[in-house]
């Protein structure tokens, strides 16, 4: 991967008072969601969020002036000129931070990838073991003549805000979503404790992130119908959750309540406008 970029030098002037040609710009194409910071100071220089957005990051040096520029009524044949100056140089850090409407947040194996697959045409890797998802996956859900972009973020664990598991490497992607869907596996021993763990990590990483509009999705409700999970257990979990946060019970495998979830996800994007 190319890591060093140089713009062309401008050309020297020529006879008959002609300027030299300017050097060509170096244009580096990056996807929307790219953030550029100064590697030495950490200063954020660019935040590219729009398709087709074009910004000047580093400027070329000032061009020199030939001896004709210094000609005057009292000095008809100047024997000196002004040289050009070098352009700006900088060591930069370039990061892609996902831009999506809704980010799926949950512990490993909460059913995020499966849900993304059934709601969109995405084909994320799915497996019955932790950290199946190691990179963010995006999918587009079409509803009410609108496309809503969903992001499946690798599972979070306690200490993620301090780098545990896949940690801050992916928490920064969630920060670029408009809202969050917190997924809780109803078959776990204490889903409400899982909810508190996730909220704690979001708040520790960013207050702004923790305050994003959100919903709770109780996943794997097929475990109730199969007898693996007590219905009273699910009722207790929902009663413990904050009443102001919408909650939807679903089974991605059985297709249970997916239309309702689509509507609630759509409403969540509307709340952020």
Structure-token pair, residue 165: 């598991």
Return the pLDDT at 266.
92
- Residue recorded with tokens 């999506």: 100
Q: Can you list the domains of the chain with their CATH numbers? A: 1-96 (2.70.210.12), 98-271 (3.40.50.300)
> Across all residues in the chain, what is the average pLDDT?
79
Q: What is the per-residue pLDDT across 31-52, written as a single tens digit (0 to 9) for each?
A: 777 888 888 888 888 877 667 7
Nearest CA to 175 out of 267, 103, 115 is that of: 103
- Residue recorded with tokens 């890591």: 3
Q: What is the largest CA-CA distance in the chain?
A: 102
Nearest CA to 67 out of 23, 22, 21, 12 is that of: 12
Q: Is 221 left (phi over 0), alpha (psi -120 to 50) or beta?
A: alpha
Q: What is the per-residue pLDDT across 115-153, written as a single tens digit (0 to 9) for each?
A: 999 999 877 555 453 444 446 778 899 887 888 999 887
Q: What is the per-residue pLDDT across 209-247, written as a single tens digit (0 to 9) for each?
A: 889 999 999 999 999 988 888 999 999 999 999 999 999
State pTM to two decimals: 0.66
Length of the chain: 273
């Amino acid at each position: 991967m190319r890591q060093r970029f140089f713009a062309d030098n401008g050309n020297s002037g020529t006879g008959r008072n002609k300027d030299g040609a300017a050097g060509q710009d170096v244009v580096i194409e990056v996807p929307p969601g790219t953030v550029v910071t100064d590697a030495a100071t950490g200063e954020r220089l660019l935040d590219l969020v729009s398709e087709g957005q074009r910004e000047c990051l580093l400027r070329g040096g000032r061009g020199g002036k030939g001896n004709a520029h210094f000609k005057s009524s009292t000095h008809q044949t100047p024997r000196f000129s002004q040289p050009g100056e070098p352009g700006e140089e900088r060591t930069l850090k370039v990061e892609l931070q996902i831009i999506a409407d809704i980010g799926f947040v949950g512990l490993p194996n909460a059913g995020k990838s499966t849900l993304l697959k059934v709601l969109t045409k995405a084909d994320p890797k799915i497996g019955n073991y932790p950290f199946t998802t190691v990179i963010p996956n995006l999918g587009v859900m079409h509803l009410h003549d609108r496309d809503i972009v969903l992001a499946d973020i690798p599972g979070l664990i306690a200490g993620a805000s301090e780098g545990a598991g896949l940690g801050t490497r992916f928490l920064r992607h969630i920060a670029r979503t408009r809202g969050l869907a917190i997924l809780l596996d109803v078959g776990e021993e204490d889903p409400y404790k899982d909810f508190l763990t996730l909220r704690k990590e979001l708040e520790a990483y960013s207050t702004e992130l923790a305050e994003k509009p959100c919903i709770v999705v109780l996943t794997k409700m097929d475990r109730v119908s199969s007898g693996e999970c007590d219905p009273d257990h699910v009722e207790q979990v929902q009663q413990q959750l904050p009443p102001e946060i919408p909650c939807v019970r679903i089974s991605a495998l059985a297709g249970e309540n997916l239309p309702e979830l689509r509507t609630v996800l759509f409403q969540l994007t509307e709340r952020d406008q």
